[in-house]
Amino acid sequence: MSSKDYLPYYAAGEVVSGFGRGSKSLGCPTANLSEEIVEALPSEFETGIYYGWASLEKTIYKMVMSIGWNPFYKNDKKSMEIHLLHKFEDDFYGKELKVIVLGYIRPELNFSSVDQLIKAINKDIEVADKSLDEATSVKYKEDPFLKS
């Protein structure tokens, strides 16, 4: 089995502090889910970059998500880092975030520079944005899971 066999994948949890580099180093703020949520992923769920829908305080946003070890930063803990395709004024630590993971963009990669990583992140955001406009993805925006 692969990750695709588990899609769509539903997860929800409180936004916790992450590594503190998404906004600062990469210009791409992320909402991190707790270790318990990451550990609940099926063992066959591949690391990589995914897209889907997210709900924060009953407002639904497009999202792109990294699941994995972030080889560029050599993390020792697997993480789920979600970037909502929306500009927020404030952080939302402690708020509940619900996600429906719909598709796989690419495997987790290492990069030789921060600039290469930023370029890949921007491409991932573009792919997620376009993919979520497709009819097969749009229907999930109305999923009761996101609205409850």
d(CA 105, CA 48): 7
pLDDT digits (tens, 9 = 90+) for 126-148: 999 999 999 999 999 999 999 88
Tokens 């991190």 found at: 32
Higher-confidence position of 74 and 100: 100
- Position 18 scores a pLDDT of 64
Q: Phi/psi class of residue 4: alpha, beta or left (left: φ > 0; alpha: ψ in -120 to 50)?
A: alpha
d(CA 14, CA 34): 7
The helix/strand/coil state of 31 is strand
- Name 14's bridge partners: 96
Residue 28 confidence class, pLDDT cut points 50, 70, 90? confident
Among the ranges 31-45, 53-67, 113-127, which has the highest mean pLDDT value?
Answer: 53-67
The helix/strand/coil state of 133 is coil
72 pLDDT higher than 60: no
pTM of the model: 0.89
Domain residue spans in the chain?
A: 10-146
d(CA 89, CA 80): 22
Residue 52 confidence class, pLDDT cut points 50, 70, 90? very high
And the tokens for 52?
């889907």
Q: Which of 39, 81, 89, 108 is catalytic?
A: 81
CATH fold of 10-146, please? Elongation Factor Tu (Ef-tu); domain 3 (2.40.30)
- Position 93 scores a pLDDT of 84
9 pLDDT higher than 90: yes
- Is residue 99 within 8 A of residue 141, CB to CB? The reply is no
Average pLDDT value for residue range 77-104? 89
Q: Is 81 tagged catalytic? A: yes
